[in-house]
A and B are shown apart, each in its own frame.
Chain A
Amino acid sequence: MAQPDISVKELSSDIRKAIEQLKVRPEIESVGIVTRIGDGIAWVYGLRDAGFNEMIEIESETGHVTAFALNLGEDEIGAVLLGDDRYVKAGAKVRRTGKILEVPVGPELVGRVVNPMGEPLDEKGPIKTNRKGRVEQAAPGVLDRKSVHEPLMTGLLAIDSMVPIGRGQRELIIGDRQTGKTAVAIDTMINQHRQQTGVINIYVAVGQKLSKVARIIERLKREGVMDQTIIIATSASDPASLQYLAPYAGTAMGEYFRDNGQHALIIYDDLTKHAAAYRQMSLLLRRPPGREAYPGDVFYLHSRLLERSAKMSDKLGGGSLTALPIIETQAGDISAYIPTNVISITDGQIFMETNLFYQGIRPAISVGLSVSRVGGAAQTKAVKSVAGPLRLNLAQFRELAAFAQFSTDLDAETKQRIERGQRLTELLKQPQYSPLGVWEQTAILMAANDGAFDSVELEDIKQAQQALLTTLHREHKKAMQTLNTGAKPTDEIIKIITGVASQVAKTYKKNTEQPRT
């Protein structure tokens, strides 16, 4: 191989020039002094030019600890530490970095578990990306957006039929503890993988038990979903500052996909703990407490977060960031301070009821209290064509449910409504980690509307449903694939489904001719 034409003398001169350029020139810099430190808050004298949310570095015994300036006083700054405050002493020097809080963003984060600073927690090596996204960023303006019109299928029949979610929407999941809120979010993530939608999932765990986060990661890996998921994890033992930053960091990562024409789904689990972490920080910063000791800007805490989830205009790539914030209520009180705040910000809510959960109705979605303000615009034509009567039928059933125990004294129409409602309730039950595709949801609802399941015993409904789906998949695969595209079902497809449904129902028909004993 011919050697390149290099002059050693020229190389020597170039190297000297390069070394000169690398020489560090000392400058007079502004420094602050830590006057007080404790509970993750450092009070710093000086740094009058520091900006809001600017990152500062505090000397410590182990090197430097990063903090960000939240309270800008006339002669003092209140800074929240992002690391351990044990090794920071009063009198330590503090330097400005001139940078606002940023986290690494990009496709390199997909499949990884990170902390709110973007540092890996999964022992898979460093995140190799040069791109940075601001943790605090202005939401897109009105003209940069487009109305929500594409569906984001959760795979849960109850939600996709009655409370449909669209790409770019903010739909709140709210309920007491242990009612299946996270389960709804996990199933939605799994469905993005099963239906190969290409949506990137971002799961933000705020102050959660690490055992819970580990279980979720394990499940996502088992379902093959981790390959399109980013997890930002903070545990209950992490500083309040990291718990406060986690949702914003996750949103910054999601904005990368939104602004590059891709679609992302972000789950905040949960914003109640986020508000509590912010309350802790604000009280330690001596900000005046308001209602329930929350600071006065706790609404703004969530509104500026959730406004960043949007559907972008075609001019800006048409990407979207869909948000599923989770709020935990106490004793079903959705009129409390934080729940009402977030309900007023989001584009609808899915209310999970404890009573329904313990009755075995899972997902325990309260149809009466759940709503999607985007509605049919975010629904596939296929599901929309069959979901219309569902809400009404269930509402009528709820009104008549009290009479169910006196069924022998009711007229035929009332009895039929009650029976239909019971069967619909049974059909809406769904096991965890089993999201349904578009064709499956459409087939089930079409069969139910046609009355195919009216003659089936209540305890056989789920078996009949499964038999319907199995038969359709085995004998009419091509038609079901067409239906799965989301297009409105043709007459031929309707005929196929109703035909198979009635055949299946005959097998499970309740025997009303048995002699009385």
Chain B
Amino acid sequence: MVKASVKQLAEAIYALIESAKTQKELTETIAAYLVVEQQTKDADRVLREVERLRYERDGVLEIVASSRRNLNESTKQVISQIFEAKNSKIVEQTGENLVGGVSIQALDKWLDLSIRGRLNQLKNTNLGKG
């Protein structure tokens, strides 16, 4: 039997999300399929593709915001507005090596406002290479 491609799996899971009753049920169904079809190594790629499909079709976006401290509501609102999604959900992560500021990632887009990121960018300018 021909294995399903990443895109086909993503389409199937996207359809499942619409019809699934609980997250647990959805998780078990997907995990069982991947194990039986020996495609567990494609799990990450498939789920990223699902994320992309949800953004393109439904405007649903998950934003990962990494900062040294917890973000306040106004910061979260600004972050949501940056990506212009109909329905965004912010997942907070603590990044102790950021020094300060915030690093935001959604799908394949990244906005690095952390101190570490700015120092790295400055290092790559002519001034930094001096």
Q: A interface vs B, CB < 8 Å?
A: 22, 24, 26-33, 35-36, 45-48, 74-76, 93
Contacts and interface: CB of A to CB of B under 8 A. Distances in A.
Contacts of B105: 31
A45 B48 contact: yes
Interface residues on B, range: 20 to 34
A31 B104 CA distance: 12
Nearest to B106: A28
The secondary-structure label for the interface of chain A is strand
19 contacts: A24-B118, A26-B112, A26-B117, A26-B118, A27-B111, A28-B111, A29-B112, A31-B105, A31-B108, A31-B109, A31-B110, A33-B48, A35-B44, A35-B45, A36-B41, A45-B45, A74-B7, A75-B48, A76-B6
Contact of A30 (B48, B109, B112, B122): B109
Contacts of B121: 24, 26
Given A22-B127, A24-B125, A26-B118, A76 B109 contact: no
The 7 closest A-B pairs by CB, nearest first: A46-B108, A31-B110, A24-B121, A28-B111, A28-B109, A30-B108, A26-B113
A127 to B, nearest CB: 15
B82 interface: yes
Given A24-B118, A36-B41, 18 more contacts: A24-B122, A26-B112, A26-B121, A27-B111, A28-B82, A28-B109, A28-B110, A28-B111, A30-B109, A31-B108, A33-B108, A35-B45, A45-B45, A46-B107, A46-B108, A47-B108, A75-B48, A75-B49
A75 B45 contact: yes
Interface of B: 6-7, 41, 44-45, 48-49, 82, 105, 107-113, 117-118, 121-122, 125, 127
A74 B52 CA distance: 13
A54 B82 CA distance: 28
Contacts of B110: 28-31, 93
Nearest to B10: A75
B52 to A, nearest CB: 8
Contacts of B113: 26
A30 B107 CA distance: 9
A19 to B, nearest CB: 10
Contacts of B117: 26
Nearest to B83: A28
A174 B87 CA distance: 66
A29 to B, nearest CB: 6
